[in-house]
Amino acid sequence: MKPDLLLLIHVSPKHLEQLGTAFTVHYAPDAVRRAACVAAEGARIRAVLTNGSTGLRADEIDAMPALELLGALGAGYENLAVAHARARGIALFNGAGTNDACVADHAMALLLAVVRAVPALDRATRAGVWRNDLPLQPNFSGKRLGILGLGTIGRRIAQRGQGFDLEVGYHNRQPRADAPFRYFDSLAALADWADYLVVATPGGAGTRHLIDAAVMRALGPTGYLVNIARGSVVDTEALAAALRAGELGGAGLDVYESEPAPPAPLLDCPNVVLTPHIAGWSPEAIDASFNQFLANAARHAAGEPLLTPIP
């Protein structure tokens, strides 16, 4: 008999079928089905697959006494009740490494798009406006790229930046001994130095609104901000105010505090490029994440160490 899996995120029919080869799947990708499934099937659930945004609460864990395996699809796990699950002896893992390249690609796409005003130029071209009537955009290359969070994704962003002849600096809680890039011991110092600031730090209470009005003023009117991490890291109202006042050159956001609703304060702001939290989504990345989930589940069933345990 296959173990019961509670699936809390939207997946394609292909991946739903793939999960069904190893589990009896209870598909609950919205709040109504989620509550109903936990109430009706909680006693049978042995595994949960979610993601960092969707999470899993402590009270839901308590409603699943047989739960032994909790996985997050993707690297983030900020809304999982990790300590509560760990106290229960539940095995925890995430999808680290499955979409790093895709996210880094998207970060550079957003940065290029906002610095070179690609969406605005596309609209102008379609409206019949020729280049003589448009403001010039700065060179992208030869500038300073600051990265907040030099984890695996941050490193990949740095590598891509070097391909554009960008000088790379970063801020972490601690410097990386093996990183060849300049370390800044404060976010304020990094923002003051950088032309571009890319946010690649985890979400959660500890990083909420790290990017505030002061950081945006430090970046300045020729500086650009990109966030491919979590919407909570950037103060949306402060960003809107900075853009309207010309205190920041532009921003590219794949994540925002209001998601899945669009960030209303930014919709009429100049120099903003928005995408719908899709930086880590590609056919290759999604296939890799489901394959890794099934590999972790198989290792757990065999009593072997997980490939990507949550630290």
Which one of the listed residues 26, 156, 160, 230 is annotated catalytic? 230
Q: Which two tokens stand for residue 41?
A: 């099937």
Contact 95, 308 (CB under 8 A): yes
Tally of residues, the chain: 311
Active site residue 230: yes
No. of helices (H) and no. of strands (E), the chain: 11, 12
Which one of the listed residues 116, 247, 259, 299 is annotated catalytic? 259
- C-alpha distances in Å from residue 214, one per residue of 115, 127, 186, 204, 217: 21, 37, 13, 20, 5
Distance CA 96, CA 76 (A): 8
Contact 54, 33 (CB under 8 A): no
Q: Which two tokens stand for residue 292?
A: 């890794």
106 burial level (CB within 10 Å; 0-12, 13-18, 19+): buried
Which one of the listed residues 84, 176, 209, 277 is annotated catalytic? 277
H-helix segments, 11-71: 13-20, 31-41, 58-62
Residues with catalytic function: 230, 259, 277
